[in-house]
Chain A
C-alpha cells in the first residue's frame, strides 16, 4: 500500500524548534519530489516547501523561508521539516505529500499523509 506517515508534531513554546518526519512506503521514494503543506485550524491549505529527488532543487514559501528547512534521506525513505523560530501563527496540521517523477512544477500531490498537529503556545 502506498503510504505516507508523519510524526514529530506536538506542543512547543514560541521561539522553539521542532523537526517533523514523514516516512514513505509502497513506492520508490527516491524517484519522487516531495512537499510539505500545512493547514491552520479552520483555514485553507498552505504549501510550505518542495524538494527534488536528489535534494538539488528546493523551493520554499515566503512565509517560512529562513525558518523552515526541508530535507530528505532516500536511503531511509524519509522526508523531514526542520522548523525554527516558531510562533503561534505556525500552529497547524502539517502534511507531507508526494510530488511527481517529472518536475516540481507538475507535482500532483496525489498521496497525502494523515497529518501531524503542531501547536505553538506558552
Chain B
C-alpha cells in the first residue's frame, strides 16, 4: 500500500481537461515538494512537474500542478491521445526519511 494515495484510473475524451489527485500526510506532501511523472508502459518514467508546479523545459503547458495542504493535483488540459499513460505523484516523507510514490493513475483517452 502506497504512502501517497491516487485513484487507480481516470479517463477523458480528446480536448477535455482531466485532473489526477494525490493525497498524502503532514510529513509528506504537507511538508515537502510534490513531483509528477508520466510513464508510458514499457518505458522509463518522465518528469512532468517538479516543486509542486514547475514544468521542465519541453513539457507542454497543458500540464500543470498544484498543491494544497496534504494533497496535490495534476491537471491536463486539451487532452490528447498521446497523454494516455500512467501518472505517479511523489514526495519526500520526513517520517520515513525517504522518497514515496503514489500507486499511480492510469489515464485512458477515450
Contact = CB atoms under 8 A, between A and B. Distances in A.
Interface of A: 35, 37, 44-47, 50, 59-62, 95, 104-110, 112-115
14 contacts: A35-B99, A44-B102, A45-B101, A45-B104, A47-B90, A95-B44, A95-B45, A105-B92, A106-B51, A107-B92, A107-B99, A109-B35, A109-B47, A112-B44
- Chain A interface, DSSP helix/strand/loop, else mixed: mixed
A115 to B, nearest CB: 6
Contacts, number: 59
B10 to A, nearest CB: 15
B46 interface: yes
B37 interface: yes
A113 B44 contact: yes
Contacts of A105: 32, 92
Given A45-B39, A108-B50, A109-B37, 10 more contacts: A37-B101, A44-B88, A44-B102, A45-B90, A47-B90, A59-B97, A59-B98, A95-B44, A106-B51, A109-B45
Interface core residue of B32, B47, B96 (most chain A CB under 10 Å):
B47
Interface in B52-110: 56, 86, 88, 90, 92, 96-104
Interface residues of B, number: 26
Interface of B: 2, 32-33, 35, 37, 39, 44-47, 50-51, 56, 86, 88, 90, 92, 96-104
B93 to A, nearest CB: 10
A112 B46 contact: yes
A23 to B, nearest CB: 15
A47 B37 CA distance: 13
